[in-house]
Amino acid sequence: MRALLVGFLLIFALPSQAATEDVFGRFQDRLVQVRILEASTGAQTSIGSGFFASANGLIVTNYHVVSDLIQQPTHYRGEIATTDGRRAQLQLIDFDAVHDLAIVQSTLPPRHFFDLHPESLPIGMRLFSIGTPLDLGFTIVEGTYNGLLEASLYEKIHFTGSINPGMSGGPTILDDGNVIGVNVATAGNQVSFLVPAKFAQALLLRARDLPALSAMAAATQLRDQLNANQNAYMQQLIGTPITTMQLGNYNVPGRLSAFIKCWGDSNADPALRYQEVVQQCSSEDNLYVSRTHTTGVVHFQHQWLAARGLNRFQFYSAYQEQFNANYPGMPANKEDVSKFSCHTDFVKSHGVRFKTTLCLRAYKRLPGLYDAVLKAATLNENDRGVLTTLILSGVSEQNALRFSQHYLESFRWKP
């Protein structure tokens, strides 16, 4: 009986396995591996995936897969490799850094190409993600569609399936071959993300008759895209009244927007000579600029401290130490950004007195963009107060200043 049951289960499992094999067999000639090579030696430095998406050989991939060609065009070159072993040098035609997409082209004519399917799907629809994970060859992964991510600044599809390094830029398709998304990232445990096909479709239409991008034009385009993007979401934040939450006897900025998530905790250590409650909020939609640089962060943290067995001088010392503590790092190196330049001041807003320090550092390769860090400490009481840290990355100086003011003006003190 047990053998019969196992056989029964195997019979019903075979159609699903055969369908996946059939999908790969029908569409594998539309796939490419994207390789980034060190220019002088031809050594492979990184890989990704891509797919033919037009009759004239335009290939869709991720911006982050080919970003080295924009950041260091004299040091790197790119090529594609097809499933049947053909190889050719690629040229960068266009990109959308905000949605992590790029269009490249080679001299290889496509035998077939994918169509894009920008429509929404029912939750649970079966999908197939294809790419070259870990340089192990072309691989197909079966998974399911789980809708668009909620509370995200940029639209992403939640795909339940294993997208691994090297699959970035590959297609995720229906069993009829229509592309519904482009592989972009994973959070592990079969939680993966796709760029919706509508963004790739828009980029394809724009790139249809364009020549290859020069290095200078690509650098300018990257700056312009990031600048326009930060201006759009910063204007939204600046123009919206800030919702506050209570922390001790203060009202402090709370969740600024749907794309901001917040958490809170307190320190229960009895050895600590002051009470501490922490609230922090952050965006989760960082943008990739290069291997060493990400941007687009909106992060803030509040600490409410109240003396517990400390006199006013001891509390002030502990308070000052917390104010001077280092803030969370923002990924970048000295080739990407300048050193911070800081200004300290004492300000008053709606009855709340602050000591503030505002620091800015410039993006060397993307003129007009900055990282900003605002630190402020309330000074209304001798034995308690709020320390707040605001971090904005990749914003204009004007937006950093305007939002910092908007942020501080939302504080209220309840004696």
As a whole number of angstroms, the distance between CA 173 and CA 92 comes to: 24
Q: For residue 409, is pLDDT > 70?
A: yes
Identify which of 8, 68, 47 has the alpha carbon closest to the alpha carbon of residue 293. 68
Q: For residue 15, is pLDDT > 70?
A: no
Helix (H, G, I), strand (E, B) or coil at 118: coil
Give 370's strand partners: 362, 395
What is the per-residue pLDDT across 343-371, written as a single tens digit (0 to 9) for each? Answer: 999 999 999 999 999 999 999 999 999 99
The full set of domain ranges for the chain reads 21-213, 235-413
Backbone angles phi, psi at 125, to 5 degrees: -60, 135
What is the per-residue pLDDT across 114-153, written as a single tens digit (0 to 9) for each? Answer: 999 988 899 999 999 999 999 999 999 999 999 999 889 9
Which CATH code fits 21-213?
2.40.10.120
- DSSP H or E run through 10: helix 2-27
CA dihedral (378, 384, 386, 387) positive or negative: positive
Q: Which CATH class is domain 235-413?
A: alpha beta
The number of residues making up the chain comes to: 415
What residues have CB less than 8 Å from 2, skipping those under 6 apart?
Answer: none
- In this structure, are residues 49 and 136 in contact, taking their beta carbons and an 8 Å threshold? no
As a whole number of angstroms, the distance between CA 377 and CA 379 comes to: 6
What pLDDT band is residue 272 in, cutting at 50, 70 and 90?
Answer: confident
HEC string of 287-316 equals EEEECCEEECCEEEEEEEEEECCCCHHHHH
| pLDDT, mean over the chain | 92
What pLDDT band is residue 415 in, cutting at 50, 70 and 90?
Answer: confident
Secondary structure tally for the chain: helices H, strands E: 6, 24
What is the per-residue pLDDT across 61-117, written as a single tens digit (0 to 9) for each? Answer: 999 999 999 999 999 999 999 999 999 999 999 999 999 999 999 999 999 999 999
- In this structure, are residues 227 and 369 in contact, taking their beta carbons and an 8 Å threshold? yes
Give 160's strand partners: 144, 191
How far is the first Cα of the chain from the last one, in angstroms, to the nearest whole number? 77
Q: What is the pTM of this model?
A: 0.92
Which class for 17: exposed (0-12), middle (13-18), buried (19 or more C-beta within 10 A)?
exposed
What pLDDT band is residue 30 in, cutting at 50, 70 and 90?
Answer: very high
Give 140's strand partners: 130
Residue 126 identity (one-letter amino acid):
R
Q: Residue 409 is encoded by which pair of tokens?
A: 């003006």
What is the per-residue pLDDT across 316-334, written as a single tens digit (0 to 9) for each? Answer: 998 999 999 887 678 899 9
- The percent of residues above 90 in pLDDT, for the chain, comes to 85
Residue 271 DSSP symbol:
T
Identify which of 135, 104, 127, 112 has the alpha carbon closest to the alpha carbon of residue 30. 112
Q: For residue 7, is pLDDT > 80?
A: no
